């Protein structure tokens, strides 16, 4: 599939037909994800399978790829692997979301229309770590130089002078 992933689609016919759509979406085309990326390169691949459950259109989303985020220890890029499997109810509004089957997350699909890009982007955003970082042995606070910065090390000495 090419840039067809950005097209709005009616979710009910997709669910009625139990349609499975495969995608490859460049990370640069995910506008809500871009500000969180250290590097905007690469893509995510996967598929979305539509179905119905208790009267709701359901999307089973599988996404694979990698995203370069900023390590919160050393502030360098850290590649975060993405292996996402999720099942969500596609709802038109908050009232409909309240009635969604228990145990399912909901994604807003206004007028029961959504693009694959929006659906995939939502799942990727939910899967990202809150505080991305390398493994402890890979980086040290203050950078990879191994040098530890202690900004408050002399604070006690300064307080004593002030007395």
pLDDT for residue 32 is more than 90: yes
Each residue's pLDDT tens digit, 63-103: 999 999 999 988 899 999 999 999 999 999 999 999 998 88
Residue bearing the bigger pLDDT, 142 or 64: 64
pLDDT for residue 1 is more than 80: no
pLDDT for residue 15 is more than 90: yes
Mean of pLDDT values over 40-54: 94
Each residue's pLDDT tens digit, 148-159: 667 777 777 777
Q: What is the pTM of this model?
A: 0.79
pLDDT for residue 47 is more than 90: yes
Q: What is residue 158's predicted lDDT score, i.e. its pLDDT?
A: 77
Burial (CB < 10 A; 0-12, 13-18, 19+), residue 57, is buried
Residue whose tokens read 């970082």: 133
d(CA 100, CA 104): 7
């Amino acid at each position: 599939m090419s840039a067809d992933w950005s097209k709005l689609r009616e979710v009910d016919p997709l669910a009625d037909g139990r349609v499975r759509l495969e995608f490859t979406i460049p990370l640069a085309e995910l506008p809500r994800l871009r500000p969180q990326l250290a590097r905007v390169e690469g893509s995510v691949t996967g598929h979305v399978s539509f179905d119905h459950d208790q009267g709701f259109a359901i999307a089973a989303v599988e996404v694979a790829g990698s995203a370069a985020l900023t390590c919160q220890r050393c502030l360098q890029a850290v590649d975060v692997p993405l292996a996402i499997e999720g099942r969500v109810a596609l709802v038109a509004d908050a009232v409909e979301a309240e009635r969604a089957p228990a145990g399912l997350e909901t994604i807003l699909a206004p007028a029961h229309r959504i693009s694959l890009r929006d659906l995939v982007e939502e799942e990727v955003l939910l899967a990202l770590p809150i505080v991305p970082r390398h493994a402890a042995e890979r980086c040290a606070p203050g950078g990879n130089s191994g040098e530890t910065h202690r900004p408050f090390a002399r604070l006690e000495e300064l307080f004593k002078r002030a007395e």
